[in-house]
């Protein structure tokens, strides 16, 4: 997403952050295999993991989840449902793929990481299109 936003010259207008719903990997870099797959596509994946906070749900206009499990976990931070409409699955924005969720590639081979990147590129392009459409309104 950062790559796309930078290409469009929107880095000053669009704030991007990343967080997981669990704290297992807090402070760590992304999986080495994902960093390698990303590097082959021109991405530097070097942010450190952090855990999603309740404040994130109010601070951001859109909070994207990779799968249904993450979506359910995020709802524990918003028991009143105040931010339900802006917490969505990334694959809702895909236009080239039919997947509902981004799968966890951890236990598979390199093709799993490539598939995840394909879904992320597709979904992020859809998110960017929506951002641009909202800005044009």
pLDDT digits over 52-105, tens only? 999 999 999 999 999 999 999 999 999 999 999 999 999 999 999 999 999 999
What is the pLDDT, as a whole number, of residue 63? 98
CA distance 26 to 47: 11
pLDDT of residue 72: 96
100 Cβ neighbours under 8 A, 6+ residues apart: 68, 89, 91
Rounded-to-integer distance, Cα 81 and Cα 79, Å: 5
Average pLDDT, the chain: 96
Q: What tokens were used for 79?
A: 């028991």
């Amino acid at each position: 997403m950062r790559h796309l936003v930078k290409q469009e010259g929107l880095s000053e207008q669009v704030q991007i952050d990343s967080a997981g719903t669990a704290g297992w990997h807090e402070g760590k870099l992304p999986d080495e295999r994902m960093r390698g797959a990303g590097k082959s596509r021109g991405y530097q994946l070097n942010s450190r993991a952090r855990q999603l906070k309740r404040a994130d749900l109010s601070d951001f206009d859109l909070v994207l989840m990779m799968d249904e499990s993450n979506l359910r976990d995020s709802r524990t931070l918003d028991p009143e449902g105040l931010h339900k409409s802006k917490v969505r699955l990334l694959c809702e924005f895909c236009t080239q793929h039919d997947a509902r969720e981004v799968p966890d590639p951890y236990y598979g081979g390199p093709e799993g990481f490539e598939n995840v990147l394909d879904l992320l590129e597709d979904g992020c392009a859809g998110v960017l299109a929506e951002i641009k459409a909202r800005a044009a309104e």
